Amino acid sequence: MKKIFLVVCLCAVVSMGCSMAQIRALFGAIEKPTIESIRPRILGLDFSGINLAFDVDLNNPNSFPLKTPKFKYGLDIQGSNFMKSEGTADIDLPAKGVGTVVLPAKIKYLDIWKTYKGLKDANQVSYDLKGAFVVSPLGKDIELPMSKSGSFPVLKIPNFSKISLEPSEVSLTESKVKVKANVTNPNVFEMGLDKLGYVLKMGDVDFADIKSTLSKSLQAGETGQIELDAKVGGLSVLGRILDGVDMGKLSLTPEGSVTTPYGEIPLPK
Protein backbone atom coordinates (compact mmCIF):
# COMPACT_ATOMS: atom_id res chain seq x y z
CA MET A 1 0.00 0.00 0.00
CA LYS A 2 2.91 2.40 0.77
CA LYS A 3 4.44 1.77 -2.66
CA ILE A 4 1.10 2.36 -4.34
CA PHE A 5 0.67 5.63 -2.35
CA LEU A 6 4.13 6.87 -3.43
CA VAL A 7 3.44 6.06 -7.07
CA VAL A 8 0.12 7.88 -6.90
CA CYS A 9 1.79 10.93 -5.30
CA LEU A 10 4.54 10.88 -7.93
CA CYS A 11 2.03 10.74 -10.75
CA ALA A 12 0.09 13.61 -9.19
CA VAL A 13 3.24 15.75 -8.94
CA VAL A 14 4.20 14.99 -12.56
CA SER A 15 0.69 15.82 -13.75
CA MET A 16 1.07 19.23 -12.00
CA GLY A 17 4.06 20.00 -14.22
CA CYS A 18 6.75 19.91 -11.52
CA SER A 19 10.35 19.42 -12.63
CA MET A 20 12.48 16.50 -11.46
CA ALA A 21 14.46 18.88 -9.21
CA GLN A 22 11.24 19.96 -7.53
CA ILE A 23 10.17 16.34 -7.21
CA ARG A 24 13.49 15.47 -5.53
CA ALA A 25 13.05 18.47 -3.23
CA LEU A 26 9.58 17.29 -2.26
CA PHE A 27 11.01 13.94 -1.27
CA GLY A 28 13.84 15.36 0.83
CA ALA A 29 16.67 16.01 -1.65
CA ILE A 30 17.11 19.70 -0.77
CA GLU A 31 20.53 21.22 -1.44
CA LYS A 32 21.85 23.47 1.32
CA PRO A 33 22.40 27.12 0.37
CA THR A 34 25.79 28.67 1.10
CA ILE A 35 27.18 32.09 2.00
CA GLU A 36 29.44 33.11 -0.87
CA SER A 37 30.92 36.33 0.53
CA ILE A 38 30.50 39.14 3.07
CA ARG A 39 31.56 42.61 1.92
CA PRO A 40 31.65 45.50 4.42
CA ARG A 41 31.30 49.06 3.15
CA ILE A 42 30.88 52.54 4.60
CA LEU A 43 27.57 54.25 3.82
CA GLY A 44 28.23 57.44 5.75
CA LEU A 45 30.77 58.99 8.09
CA ASP A 46 30.88 62.09 10.25
CA PHE A 47 32.34 63.18 13.58
CA SER A 48 29.47 61.60 15.53
CA GLY A 49 29.67 58.11 14.09
CA ILE A 50 29.64 55.78 11.12
CA ASN A 51 27.03 53.91 9.09
CA LEU A 52 28.21 50.49 7.92
CA ALA A 53 26.60 47.91 5.68
CA PHE A 54 27.51 44.27 5.14
CA ASP A 55 26.56 42.91 1.72
CA VAL A 56 26.06 39.16 2.15
CA ASP A 57 25.84 37.00 -0.99
CA LEU A 58 23.72 33.86 -0.51
CA ASN A 59 23.91 31.14 -3.14
CA ASN A 60 20.81 29.01 -3.71
CA PRO A 61 21.79 25.79 -5.57
CA ASN A 62 18.20 24.55 -5.81
CA SER A 63 16.10 24.84 -8.95
CA PHE A 64 13.38 26.69 -7.09
CA PRO A 65 13.55 30.09 -5.32
CA LEU A 66 13.82 30.41 -1.56
CA LYS A 67 11.53 32.88 0.11
CA THR A 68 12.81 35.79 2.23
CA PRO A 69 15.49 34.35 4.54
CA LYS A 70 15.55 35.41 8.19
CA PHE A 71 18.70 36.74 9.78
CA LYS A 72 20.18 37.46 13.18
CA TYR A 73 23.56 39.07 13.75
CA GLY A 74 25.64 40.98 16.23
CA LEU A 75 28.72 43.17 16.16
CA ASP A 76 31.35 42.37 18.78
CA ILE A 77 34.00 44.87 19.87
CA GLN A 78 36.90 43.79 22.09
CA GLY A 79 35.27 40.40 22.54
CA SER A 80 31.92 41.62 23.86
CA ASN A 81 28.65 42.30 22.08
CA PHE A 82 28.14 45.91 21.02
CA MET A 83 24.94 45.65 19.00
CA LYS A 84 22.39 43.05 17.87
CA SER A 85 19.76 42.90 15.16
CA GLU A 86 17.38 40.40 13.61
CA GLY A 87 14.68 40.42 10.99
CA THR A 88 13.64 39.16 7.59
CA ALA A 89 15.43 39.97 4.35
CA ASP A 90 13.46 41.90 1.75
CA ILE A 91 14.47 39.65 -1.17
CA ASP A 92 13.92 36.07 -2.32
CA LEU A 93 16.91 33.94 -3.26
CA PRO A 94 16.63 33.13 -6.98
CA ALA A 95 16.68 29.54 -8.21
CA LYS A 96 20.22 28.43 -9.12
CA GLY A 97 21.45 31.93 -8.35
CA VAL A 98 22.82 34.39 -5.82
CA GLY A 99 20.85 36.92 -3.78
CA THR A 100 22.44 39.76 -1.82
CA VAL A 101 21.15 40.73 1.61
CA VAL A 102 22.26 44.06 3.11
CA LEU A 103 22.80 44.11 6.88
CA PRO A 104 23.09 47.66 8.32
CA ALA A 105 25.04 48.73 11.41
CA LYS A 106 24.88 52.30 12.72
CA ILE A 107 27.57 53.09 15.27
CA LYS A 108 27.96 56.19 17.43
CA TYR A 109 31.48 56.97 18.59
CA LEU A 110 30.19 58.24 21.93
CA ASP A 111 28.68 54.82 22.65
CA ILE A 112 32.03 53.19 21.93
CA TRP A 113 33.94 55.58 24.18
CA LYS A 114 31.47 55.07 27.02
CA THR A 115 31.62 51.29 26.75
CA TYR A 116 35.29 50.85 25.85
CA LYS A 117 37.24 53.64 27.55
CA GLY A 118 40.52 52.28 26.19
CA LEU A 119 39.41 53.18 22.65
CA LYS A 120 39.04 56.90 23.43
CA ASP A 121 42.10 57.83 21.35
CA ALA A 122 41.84 55.06 18.74
CA ASN A 123 41.72 56.04 15.08
CA GLN A 124 40.14 52.72 14.11
CA VAL A 125 38.19 49.98 15.90
CA SER A 126 38.30 46.24 15.22
CA TYR A 127 35.05 44.28 15.10
CA ASP A 128 33.73 40.73 14.70
CA LEU A 129 30.48 40.22 12.85
CA LYS A 130 28.72 37.03 13.99
CA GLY A 131 25.32 35.65 13.15
CA ALA A 132 23.32 33.36 10.91
CA PHE A 133 20.73 33.22 8.17
CA VAL A 134 17.75 30.87 8.34
CA VAL A 135 16.17 29.64 5.10
CA SER A 136 13.11 27.39 5.06
CA PRO A 137 12.74 25.43 1.82
CA LEU A 138 9.45 23.51 1.95
CA GLY A 139 9.10 24.42 5.63
CA LYS A 140 12.41 22.89 6.68
CA ASP A 141 14.64 25.37 8.58
CA ILE A 142 18.30 25.44 7.54
CA GLU A 143 20.71 27.67 9.50
CA LEU A 144 23.71 29.21 7.73
CA PRO A 145 26.30 30.58 10.20
CA MET A 146 28.32 33.63 9.17
CA SER A 147 31.26 35.58 10.55
CA LYS A 148 33.47 38.42 9.39
CA SER A 149 36.27 40.35 11.09
CA GLY A 150 37.50 43.80 10.14
CA SER A 151 37.84 47.37 11.37
CA PHE A 152 36.16 50.73 10.83
CA PRO A 153 37.70 54.22 11.09
CA VAL A 154 37.08 56.72 13.86
CA LEU A 155 37.03 60.18 12.27
CA LYS A 156 39.49 62.60 13.87
CA ILE A 157 40.01 66.37 13.54
CA PRO A 158 43.48 67.35 12.22
CA ASN A 159 45.73 68.58 15.02
CA PHE A 160 48.30 71.37 15.10
CA SER A 161 51.64 71.71 16.87
CA LYS A 162 54.75 73.92 16.90
CA ILE A 163 52.77 77.09 16.17
CA SER A 164 54.97 80.14 15.59
CA LEU A 165 54.34 83.76 14.57
CA GLU A 166 56.51 86.41 12.93
CA PRO A 167 55.75 89.82 11.35
CA SER A 168 55.80 90.13 7.58
CA GLU A 169 54.57 93.71 6.90
CA VAL A 170 54.38 96.56 9.41
CA SER A 171 52.46 99.84 9.32
CA LEU A 172 51.16 102.35 11.85
CA THR A 173 47.58 101.15 11.63
CA GLU A 174 47.82 97.51 10.68
CA SER A 175 50.45 94.80 10.49
CA LYS A 176 50.59 91.48 8.72
CA VAL A 177 51.94 88.40 10.41
CA LYS A 178 52.86 84.98 9.15
CA VAL A 179 51.93 81.95 11.22
CA LYS A 180 53.60 78.59 10.75
CA ALA A 181 52.48 75.31 12.27
CA ASN A 182 52.75 71.57 11.81
CA VAL A 183 49.48 69.86 10.96
CA THR A 184 48.93 66.12 11.34
CA ASN A 185 46.24 63.94 9.79
CA PRO A 186 45.51 61.42 12.59
CA ASN A 187 43.14 59.36 10.43
CA VAL A 188 43.68 56.04 8.65
CA PHE A 189 42.71 57.60 5.31
CA GLU A 190 43.67 60.62 3.21
CA MET A 191 42.25 63.98 4.26
CA GLY A 192 42.03 67.22 2.28
CA LEU A 193 42.37 70.52 4.17
CA ASP A 194 41.82 73.00 1.35
CA LYS A 195 38.27 73.83 2.51
CA LEU A 196 39.29 74.68 6.07
CA GLY A 197 39.26 78.12 7.65
CA TYR A 198 41.10 78.99 10.86
CA VAL A 199 40.63 80.86 14.10
CA LEU A 200 43.88 82.25 15.52
CA LYS A 201 43.97 83.33 19.16
CA MET A 202 46.56 84.74 21.56
CA GLY A 203 45.20 86.37 24.69
CA ASP A 204 43.21 89.52 23.82
CA VAL A 205 44.77 89.90 20.36
CA ASP A 206 42.33 89.79 17.45
CA PHE A 207 43.62 88.40 14.17
CA ALA A 208 41.73 89.03 10.93
CA ASP A 209 41.74 87.91 7.28
CA ILE A 210 43.42 84.61 8.06
CA LYS A 211 44.38 82.85 4.84
CA SER A 212 46.04 79.48 4.39
CA THR A 213 48.65 78.52 1.81
CA LEU A 214 48.20 74.77 2.30
CA SER A 215 46.16 73.22 -0.50
CA LYS A 216 47.43 69.66 -0.68
CA SER A 217 45.91 66.62 1.01
CA LEU A 218 47.62 64.74 3.80
CA GLN A 219 47.95 60.98 3.65
CA ALA A 220 47.01 58.78 6.61
CA GLY A 221 49.19 59.74 9.58
CA GLU A 222 51.14 62.32 7.56
CA THR A 223 52.42 65.59 9.07
CA GLY A 224 52.86 68.66 6.89
CA GLN A 225 53.48 72.35 7.46
CA ILE A 226 50.85 75.01 7.11
CA GLU A 227 51.44 78.74 6.66
CA LEU A 228 48.83 81.38 7.45
CA ASP A 229 48.77 85.07 6.59
CA ALA A 230 46.84 87.20 9.08
CA LYS A 231 46.36 90.84 10.04
CA VAL A 232 46.72 92.36 13.49
CA GLY A 233 45.82 95.91 14.46
CA GLY A 234 48.44 98.54 15.28
CA LEU A 235 52.10 98.79 16.18
CA SER A 236 51.40 98.57 19.90
CA VAL A 237 50.06 95.04 19.64
CA LEU A 238 52.87 93.96 17.36
CA GLY A 239 55.38 95.53 19.72
CA ARG A 240 54.03 93.54 22.64
CA ILE A 241 54.34 90.37 20.58
CA LEU A 242 57.92 91.15 19.53
CA ASP A 243 58.91 92.12 23.09
CA GLY A 244 57.83 88.70 24.28
CA VAL A 245 55.09 90.00 26.55
CA ASP A 246 53.07 87.11 27.94
CA MET A 247 49.76 87.53 26.14
CA GLY A 248 48.57 83.95 26.43
CA LYS A 249 49.16 80.78 24.49
CA LEU A 250 48.99 80.97 20.70
CA SER A 251 46.27 78.60 19.47
CA LEU A 252 45.01 77.59 16.07
CA THR A 253 41.53 76.10 15.60
CA PRO A 254 40.23 74.79 12.27
CA GLU A 255 36.68 75.38 11.06
CA GLY A 256 34.78 74.56 7.88
CA SER A 257 35.01 71.08 6.38
CA VAL A 258 37.50 68.38 5.41
CA THR A 259 37.43 66.15 2.35
CA THR A 260 37.74 62.39 2.72
CA PRO A 261 37.27 59.28 0.53
CA TYR A 262 33.74 59.25 1.99
CA GLY A 263 32.83 62.77 0.95
CA GLU A 264 33.11 66.27 2.35
CA ILE A 265 32.54 66.33 6.12
CA PRO A 266 31.81 69.50 8.17
CA LEU A 267 33.82 69.95 11.37
CA PRO A 268 31.77 70.01 14.59
CA LYS A 269 31.09 73.50 15.92
Alpha-carbon torsion 38, 44, 45, 49, what sign?
negative
Question: What pLDDT does 3 receive?
Answer: 42
Q: Please name each of the domains of the chain with its CATH number.
A: 32-153 (2.60.40.10), 159-266 (2.60.40)
- 188-219 b/e (C-beta count within 10 Å ≥ 16 → b): bbebbbeebebebebeebebeebebebeebbe
Per-residue pLDDT tens digits for 16-57: 445 544 554 454 578 999 999 999 999 999 999 999 999 999
- Give the C-alpha separation, 230 to 212, whole Å: 9
* Of residues 15 and 72, more confidently modeled: 72
Segment among 141-150, 173-182, 226-235, 239-248 with least mean pLDDT: 239-248
State the pLDDT at residue 243: 57
User: Greater confidence, 206 or 77?
Assistant: 77
Q: What backbone torsions phi and psi does residue 242 show, to the nearest 5 degrees?
A: -70, -30
Among 115-124, 162-171, 204-213, top mean pLDDT goes to 115-124
The upper half-sphere exposure of residue 238, i.e. CA atoms within 13 Å in the direction of its Cβ, equals: 19
Q: How far apart are CA 84 and CA 105, in angstroms?
A: 9
Give the pLDDT of residue 56.
Answer: 97
Q: Given a cut of 70, is residue 255 above it in pLDDT?
A: yes
- State residue 7's pLDDT score: 42
pLDDT of residue 2: 40
Of 7-11, 41-45, 113-117, 172-176, the least confident: 7-11
Would you say residue 240 has pLDDT above 90? no
User: What is the average pLDDT across 117-130?
Assistant: 94
Q: How confident is the model at residue 133 (pLDDT cuts 50, 70, 90)?
A: very high
Res 88: pLDDT: 93
What's the pLDDT at 16? 44
What is the structure's pLDDT at 25?
Answer: 46
Asked whether 191 and 260 are in contact (CB, 8 A), the reply is yes
Q: What is the pLDDT of residue 236?
A: 57
End-to-end Cα distance, the chain = 81
Note the pLDDT tens digit of each residue in 86-118: 999 989 999 999 999 999 999 999 999 999 999
Contacts of 182 (CB under 8 A, 6+ apart): 160, 161, 162, 223, 224, 225, 226
In terms of pLDDT, which residue wins out, 3 or 131? 131
